[in-house]
Amino acid sequence: MKKENLIYWIFTILLVASMLFSAIGGFKPTPEANAMMKHIGFGAHVLPLLSVLKVLGCIALLVPGFVRLKEWAYAGFTFDLIGAVYSFIAVGDPVIMWAPILLGFVFIAMSYIYWHKKLKLQAAQSLR
């Protein structure tokens, strides 16, 4: 159980850190951030909304319990990254512009997989 717990927390912290880092710019958008949003076809008004949702998703992952809320947070982060990748591809940006986003999918997948492994191990231990 120690190995699963360690892997879960490593990837969860990487996921939360990356989502919080990407959310920071939305609370006080810079001209560059606004230009990027315009470039991919969104208005600047979307940035604060995404930032608030990312922070709420991070809180949901870090607070114990709330299984359904965690599922929604993982889904929301996945949708966010799919939308980002799609937006960059749709405007014709080269792979180098959106490829780093793919790392976020690794963080989501590993955190999610090991969260479920942790839940199964906890359930098995409670039956003993």
Q: Is the pLDDT of residue 1 over 80?
A: no
HSE, side-chain direction, 13 A CA sphere, residue 79: 10
Cα–Cα distance, 77 to 112 (Å, whole number): 11
The predicted model scores a pTM of 0.92
Q: How confident is the model at residue 122 (pLDDT cuts 50, 70, 90)?
A: confident
Condensed to tens digits (0 to 9), the pLDDT of residues 60-106 reads 999 998 999 999 999 999 999 999 999 999 999 999 999 999 999 99
